[in-house]
Amino acid sequence: MRLLLVMLAGFVAAAPVSAVADRPPIKKLPAQQAADNLQGTWVIVSMQLNGQEFPWPVKGDPKISISAGKMIWVQYGKPVSEATYKVDNTKNPKQIQSTFIQGSEKGKVYVLIYSLEGETLKLGTYLDGKQAPRGFGGKDDEVVIVLKRQKG
């Protein structure tokens, strides 16, 4: 009888915990989901400035590491600059607003456009970063960077 009571008490105590597991998952807002999709380490494949291919590869194996709310530019295995960012995927093309918090651009705000297709991320901005380009044409002081997600 005592064993039965202990088992019953264990079942009752466990019941609320299992009920919590049946709750639907918290839905992420579209901007949060978009930001999550950008997370990872990205290797730069190519760059354009004013519509012209920038000589590539550049020394130091530059990469961009994107985590929750932060972008870090890494070169020679060391962080060169760091920025916070916010994603706005309601615009067409989708936009990222980044604010540099470390490095030579500290304090500057850049507006970028982005496109994510599979494991390829394309970023575009003007050299001054004050407004977003309308597309990835790469002309008139536009910078376009193509990156691939680093595996592993």
Cα(first)–Cα(last) distance of the chain, in Å?
55
Instruction: State phi, psi for 126 to the nearest 5 degrees.
Output: -90, 160
**Which domains does the chain show, CATH number per domain?**
30-149 (2.40.128.280)
pLDDT by residue (tens digit) across 79-115?
Answer: 999 999 999 989 999 999 999 999 999 999 999 999 9
pLDDT by residue (tens digit) across 22-76?
Answer: 666 655 667 678 788 999 999 999 999 888 888 777 788 899 999 999 999 999 9
